[in-house]
Structure 1
Amino acid sequence: MDISHIHNLFLKSTGVSIDTRKIEKNSMFVAIKGDRFDANTFAQEALEKGASSVIIDNKDYYIDDRTVLVGDSLVTLQELAKFHRNYLKLPIIALTGSNGKTTTKELINVVLAKKFKTKATVGNLNNHIGVPLTLLSFNKETEIGIVEMGANHQKEIEFLCEIAQPDYGYITNFGKAHLEGFGGVEGVIKGKSEMYQYLAKNDKLAFINLEDSIQLEKSKILKHYSFGVNRENADVVIADIKANPFVEIQFDSLQIKTHLIGLYNANNVNAALTIGKFFVVDNEAIKAALESYVPENNRSQLLTKGSNEIILDAYNANPSSMAVAIANFLQLEKLNKIMILGDMFELGSESQQEHKALVDSLKEETKVQCYFVGKAFYECQFSKENFHFYESFDSFSVGLKDVNFDNNIMLIKGSRGMALERTLEFIK
């Protein structure tokens, strides 16, 4: 069926759903096959729950004229999103990177929302399904769209850019994330840089962090708007940054005090500030937006339990984000430090090397109690008075009974699959 006809059905609906558990009245249900299910089988249920139309790609589940049969439901969702993006013709900012994508996206959104009607990716719906759903959440009232793009293989960012067709792009960094899929650090740089290639090919603008050597080099071939710390050649000059533990930024005559922990979050703040300046948001409004943002969902949260301060950063971890989180934690002017570090996933053949490198980097630290949790860290174990290794969270939870949780500052960080936020249950 012609995509314009499907788009007309979409415009008459209340939005797109791919989950019958979340069907809204008069919504459009798109039946996408999963690894363990065929959503075509839910077409009837979607209509019974109030969907106005259903998109299916298996003729055996055709019901009536409310059913639209297509060759591939996922491809149709992606084509519909691209068609809708061109229909709206609104400016779109896309961002990707190894670390800090979601936090940066949220910061950009709160800053630009001070002047514009913005919509941004919800949560981390940033893949080949999430990006189309984000685009389809934009409407005629949306003045700026903000699209987060995630990837763990080559050509994914290129594909997502072809769908979203961003006018502006930002890459947070090039770190050691998804090394297994990308094929090493060089593969990460190549994969993330697909956004730069799209921007250059289409004469679009990139936001550039001049503190990043890779971005600095790429800026030579891109139309760009830049930021840097005390760099006179930057479009936005940041005077000073510090974090003890919260990030503070000195910009012009403004002192911006955020609720974000760690120097590794400074560039996320600087990027949002810079994009706000590009879109001529008032300085005081930028300050108010950045100071009002409070992280959640286990992302660099500062919590208090009893007499303990806890930096909970258990949403994700890779060698790059782990290194900067640890470095920031060690420089804090606090006594009684405890680090609870969980395995880093998706590192492929480099997993053992990266986990061992992280453990080795802490060998000289004698005043911090270090708890390493997970099979990868367990294989790196050796005897050191302040080092403790556990093969699983279950064995760690038993060991927690012997930990003194009084007047400590703690860093809890690991990959999502480790779910280290469970540690909080053992802290009275």
Structure 2
Amino acid sequence: MHTSTTSTAPLEVWTTQALAEATQGHWHLGRIPTQPIKRILTDSRHAELGDAFLALKGERFDAHDFIAQVAVQGCELAIVSRPVDVDIAQLVVADTRLALGQLGAYRRAQNRQLKVIALTGSSGKTTVKEMLSSILSQQAPTLVTRGNLNNDLGVPMMLLELCQSHQYAVMELGASHQGEIDYTAQLVQPDVAGILNIGTAHLGEFGGRDGICRAKSEIYAHLDAHGTAIIPAQDDYYPQIKQTAQAHSQLSFGPGGEVFATDIELLPQSSQFLLHSPAGQAWVRLPFAGLHNVRNAEAAAAFALAIGIALDVIVSGLDTAQGAKGRLNFIQKNNFLFIDDTYNANPSSMRAAADVLSQQAGIKVMVMGDIGELGDAAFQAHKDLGRDLATVALDHLIAVGEYSQAMAVGAAPDKIQAFSTQADALIYLIKLVKQDPTQPMSFLFKGSRFMHMETLMTDLMEKL
């Protein structure tokens, strides 16, 4: 069963006693493994001697069906919700999905030295996470959420990678339904917790921004009594968020907050600004483009200050931070600049990306894929986005996907080219380049993950 990525980081072994204690499980037929367990994993492809295979059950799969396979691969232990007829030690638990959470929480509780930051928000999570990684890793080993391991399965799997050498952890908590962040926050037990913003990502699941705010605000429910709540001062939900976190010490960021930037200079591929904080002021030279990334840096600085990091260390970390793959990565090829922002998208991040593109050289071409998880608001949201992007100083807007026509309606037909497929869009892009191949051009590709806009970008690059 392929349900997760597997870390190659050195992990601390589990005793059979700890496994049973954490999950409140019992050993089937009294058979207990004789060797400690080095890893707990849910991906049968990687199971081997020394591993415990945890058999998850979903709507369309049941990993109990793969236990015979992992036994052949040398795995000597399966964590199951029902015994199976396979010659392998089996720890039987009430629910393997909940057992995964129990194991993650147990590992978190073992690491008393750890200082944990938990963050959530509708946009910017990955970038703030990378900035914090750059800051905290200067001080001590830091565990940071990889990829999108931010849900009720991904968070405990990240916690399983904790070891005694880690002094910090930066945990991203995502929400696809009410109660999910409450559950994952309980597992990670944060010392500092905060919300970056309340946008429109996952709008369909929550029925509106009020529901999104309630879901994100669950992050404060399990904040340490002496911990700090990070609050987005500029967000229009600031009063509600502040109220939710009223039991805790608070630190706000952004315009109107306690950690904020002034004297901002936005450059084509970077920015610089004066950072103000309760710990003093300092100049930051940020290797990220766009005002939205200045806001992300304000947030990262607030989280770091709240966990006790000195201002000079924060500045050094921000100055040397690197963006994640697919997050405003700049790629120069001959006369063409490609901006890869294909990792994901929501309406606010799409607008921010357009502003970054507007600062680049030559002919500016924005290639947009559909935005997902907007529910019944999808058509209107794409229409509004088309309207807004038509006002940005760009030369060509190209929309691809089911909602490309909605963007065209919002922008007016003469402002945007709409295509239902990437193949059709590629033909148009090649014609655009051939009109004057000596003219510098800047392309930005962006869309929700399921649109795989990086494929269209790569196809165009190969034609040049």
Same fold (TM over 0.5): yes
Shift, 1:354, TM fit: 0.5
Shift, 1:139, TM fit: 1.8
Cα 1:296–1:4 change in 2 (3 A) is closer
2:284 aligned counterpart, secondary structure? strand
Question: Which residue number in structure 1 is paired with residue 454 of structure 2?
Answer: 421
- Over residues 54-78 of structure 1, what are the superposed CA-to-partner deviations in whole Å (9 max), with x where a residue is unaligned? 21223224434x2212232111111
Given the alignment of the two structures, is residue 293 of structure 1 paired with residue 327 of structure 2, yes or no?
Answer: no
Aligned partners of 2:376, 2:53: CA distance in 1, in Å? 40
| 1:187 corresponds to which of 211, 224, 234 | 211
| 2:110 corresponds to which of 59, 83, 87 | 87
Moved more, 288-297 or 140-149: 288-297
Given the alignment of the two structures, is residue 22 of structure 1 paired with residue 49 of structure 2, yes or no?
Answer: no
Shift, 1:159, TM fit: 1.6
Shift, 1:290, TM fit: 2.1
| 1:155 corresponds to which of 179, 187, 191 | 179
- Which residue identity lines up with residue 48 of structure 1 in the other structure? V
Question: Which residue number in structure 2 is paired with residue 372 of structure 1?
Answer: 399
- Which residue identity lines up with residue 191 of structure 2 in the other structure? D
- Which residue identity lines up with residue 5 of structure 1 in the other structure? A
Given the alignment of the two structures, is residue 341 of structure 1 paired with residue 368 of structure 2, yes or no?
Answer: yes
Cα 1:110–1:367 change in 2 (3 A) is closer
Given the alignment of the two structures, is residue 224 of structure 1 paired with residue 249 of structure 2, yes or no?
Answer: yes
- Over residues 173-203 of structure 1, what are the superposed CA-to-partner deviations in whole Å (9 max), with x where a residue is unaligned? 1101011111112211111111134439x56
| Contact 1:341-1:371 at 8 Å conserved across structures | yes
Question: Which residue number in structure 2 is paired with residue 326 of structure 1?
Answer: 354
Aligned partners of 1:152, 1:334: CA distance in 2, in Å? 39
Shift, 1:386, TM fit: 4.2
| Contact 1:343-1:415 at 8 Å conserved across structures | yes
- Over residues 38-97 of structure 1, what are the superposed CA-to-partner deviations in whole Å (9 max), with x where a residue is unaligned? 211222332333434221223224434x22122321111112222222232333211111
5+ residue gaps, structure 1, are none
- Percent identity between the two aligned chains: 28
5+ residue gaps, structure 2, are 1-15, 24-32
Moved more, 385-394 or 121-130: 385-394
Aligned partners of 2:207, 2:376: CA distance in 1, in Å? 9
- Over residues 236-280 of structure 1, what are the superposed CA-to-partner deviations in whole Å (9 max), with x where a residue is unaligned? 453443322323232356432233222111222222223333344
- Which residue identity lines up with residue 77 of structure 1 in the other structure? L
| Contact 1:6-1:80 at 8 Å conserved across structures | no
TM-score (structure 2 length as normaliser) = 0.83
Matches within 5 A, 1:30-69: 30-64=54-88, 66-69=89-92
- Which residue identity lines up with residue 207 of structure 1 in the other structure? I
Question: CA RMSD for the aligned pairs?
Answer: 2.8
- Which residue identity lines up with residue 295 of structure 2 in the other structure? N
- Which residue identity lines up with residue 422 of structure 2 in the other structure? F
Cα 1:56–1:305 change in 2 (3 A) is same
| 1:117 corresponds to which of 138, 141, 144 | 141
Aligned partners of 2:129, 2:271: CA distance in 1, in Å? 17
Cα 1:217–1:85 change in 2 (3 A) is same
Question: Which residue number in structure 2 is paired with residue 99 of structure 1?
Answer: 123
The number of residues matched between the two structures is: 423
| Contact 1:260-1:301 at 8 Å conserved across structures | no
| Contact 2:385-2:407 at 8 Å conserved across structures | no
- Which residue identity lines up with residue 451 of structure 2 in the other structure? M
2:353 aligned counterpart, secondary structure? helix
